Amino acid sequence: MPQLNPNPWLFIMLISWFTFAMIIQPKILTFVSANPPSKKAPTTPNTTPWNWPWT
């Protein structure tokens, strides 16, 4: 079964993970978030119960 031969695919997987982890990911993490977290306390909405007509 040739698909079980890890010779070419293991090397390709390791090189792609190394490229992502060492080159691409640090560049992506340096971007500033477009929606920074706010320091406001979360507010809970005031809801009213639903009146079911069949109960």
Question: Is the per-residue pLDDT at 15 higher than 90?
Answer: yes
Residue 2 — very low, low, confident or very high, per pLDDT cuts 50/70/90? low
Question: Is the per-residue pLDDT at 18 higher than 60?
Answer: yes
Residue recorded with tokens 């040739």: 2
Q: Is pTM beyond 0.75 here?
A: no
